[in-house]
Amino acid sequence: MPTPQEATRMRSGTASDTAHLTARVRAADAVVEPSRRLLDDRFAALFVTEPPPPATSDEALQRLGAIDHAHGGFLAEILLRQRFFEHELIRSVADGVRQVVMLGAGYDTTALRMPGYDGLRYFEVDHPATQRAKLATLAQEMLSTPSVTYVPHDFEAGGSLVGALAEAGFDPAQPCIVGWLGVTFFLQPGALHQALAELAEICTAGSVLVFDYMDESVIDGTTPYRGALEMARKVGAEGEPYLTGLTPQSAAEAVRRAGFWPMEELRVPDLVKRFGGNDPYCNGDDFMGVMAAERAGNGEAA
Ligand SMILES: C[S@@+](CC[C@H](N)C(=O)[O-])C[C@H]1O[C@@H](n2cnc3c(N)ncnc32)[C@H](O)[C@@H]1O
């Protein structure tokens, strides 16, 4: 009998269902009336199969409210971590960065919404199964993404991320911004730390890494947030278990060890406060964090 770690969707080569869940949330948000919309991802609906996206703002708010009631904190994190990332992306581009690496990109649509934005090149790295599903939808919708190079890579399979990106034309001598959102907690600790070590090789000085993590207490079952535990149970039952958690301290230590300076960290309530507007429709249960870290220069201790 395989352990939960062995019997994952990713290992069996099935596209990620949590990537679909993320797209469903973003597609519903895009239907919410503009004054209460949190992200405005007009392409997310392309990737939604069942159930189809809501037709009206009221229906969208009802659906999102039900998820928020059952699993407080997830809506805010899914929608607003992306706002935080895009804020960092715009800042990096102003600083001259022209390479964007999306790790575990799923149905992320940043490249569709900001395609040739000042000559950016995107490298979307994802598990081959999820990436195939994304590419099939893009082809079906006849949407071309000339600014994107798709890089199939399984973080758990022992291959080299550095090698895969080099083969795809990524230039490690030029700075980049890396978005690693909604992924770290699905990896085994070894794969997570291996990826961080490889990021240090990919990211020259001045590069920025934005990643999120889930609290260790969700993984070990001691968190007081019942909605988080219930989500952990559900995704585990669907074959995408949460495997690795961090704390604000261990997340900062891990990036420092890899040679990055932690610049800013927002917990879910901070995300809601900064990006949620006057009347956010989601609550801020506090069991996840998103961090921006900068690659230290040669010889600098991080
Ligand atoms: C919750 S989705 C997040 C998608 C996207 N980053 C977002 O924020 O919408 C998790 C993503 O991690 C990817 N993933 C999970 N395990 C992986 C692995 N071992 N190797 C590569 N990608 C993996 C899945 O394919 C999926 O795209």
pLDDT digit string (tens) for 220-252?
999 999 999 999 999 999 999 999 999 999 999
- Residue owning the nearest CA to atom 26 of ligand 1: 106
**Residues near ligand 1 (Cβ within 6 A):** 10, 16, 18-19, 22, 104-108, 126-127, 130, 154-156, 181-183, 186
Residue of 130, 154, 165 with the most ligand 1 atoms within 8 Å of its CB, for mutation: 130
- Residue owning the nearest CA to atom 27 of ligand 1: 106
- Dist. CA 15 → ligand 1 center (Å): 9
- Residue owning the nearest CA to atom 11 of ligand 1: 104
Residue 11 has a pLDDT of 64
Nearest alpha-carbon partner for 20 in 44, 54, 55, 56: 44
Mean pLDDT of the chain: 94
Q: How far is CA 68 from CA 91, 105, 281, in A?
A: 31, 23, 8
Residue of 126, 132, 180, 198 with the most ligand 1 atoms within 8 Å of its CB, for mutation: 126
Residue 2 has a pLDDT of 47
User: Could you tell me how far CA 244 lies from the centroid of its own chain?
Assistant: 15
pLDDT digits (tens, 9 = 90+) for 83-122: 999 999 999 999 999 999 999 999 999 999 987 777 899 9
- Dist. CA 263 → ligand 1 center (Å): 24
- Residue owning the nearest CA to atom 2 of ligand 1: 19
**Which amino acid, 162?**
V
- CA dist 218 and 109 (Å) reads 28
Q: Are strands 208-214 and 176-180 parallel, antiparallel or unpaired?
A: parallel
Residue of 79, 124, 183 with the most ligand 1 atoms within 8 Å of its CB, for mutation: 183
Residues 191-195: contacts with CB under 8 Å, at least 24 apart: 191/155, 191/156, 192/155, 192/244, 192/254, 193/254, 194/155, 195/103, 195/155, 195/161
- Dist. CA 299 → ligand 1 center (Å): 33
The stretches of 57-146 forming alpha helices (DSSP H) are 57-70, 74-94, 110-113, 128-140
pTM of the model: 0.95
Q: Which ligand 1 atom minimizes the distance to the CA of 131?
A: 25
Q: Which ligand 1 atom minimizes the distance to the CA of 15?
A: 25
Query: Hey, is 49 helix, strand or coil?
Result: coil
pLDDT digits (tens, 9 = 90+) for 248-262: 999 999 999 999 999
Could you tell me the domains of the chain? 9-295 (3.40.50.150)
**Tokens representing 162?**
């550095």
Which residue shows structure tokens 């919708």? 141
User: 9 pLDDT band (50/70/90 cuts)?
Assistant: low
Q: Which positions ≥6 away from 299 have C-beta within 8 Å?
A: none
Q: Which ligand 1 atom minimizes the distance to the CA of 156?
A: 19
Residue of 12, 48, 127, 160 with the most ligand 1 atoms within 8 Å of its CB, for mutation: 127
Mean pLDDT, range 66-83, rounded to an integer: 96
Which residue shows structure tokens 């960290």? 265
pLDDT digits (tens, 9 = 90+) for 147-199: 999 999 999 999 999 999 999 999 999 999 999 999 999 999 999 999 999 99
Residue 300: Cβ within 10 Å count:
10
Mean pLDDT, range 141-149, rounded to an integer: 95
Assess contact for 213 and 249: CB atoms under 8 A. no
- CA dist 65 and 76 (Å) reads 11
User: 271 pLDDT band (50/70/90 cuts)?
Assistant: very high
Judge whether residue 5 has pLDDT over 70: no
Residue 6 has a pLDDT of 54
Mean pLDDT, range 112-137, rounded to an integer: 93
Which residue shows structure tokens 């081959």? 128
Query: Hey, is 253 helix, strand or coil?
Result: helix
Q: Which ligand 1 atom minimizes the distance to the CA of 22?
A: 9
- Residue owning the nearest CA to atom 22 of ligand 1: 127
Mean pLDDT, range 61-85, rounded to an integer: 96
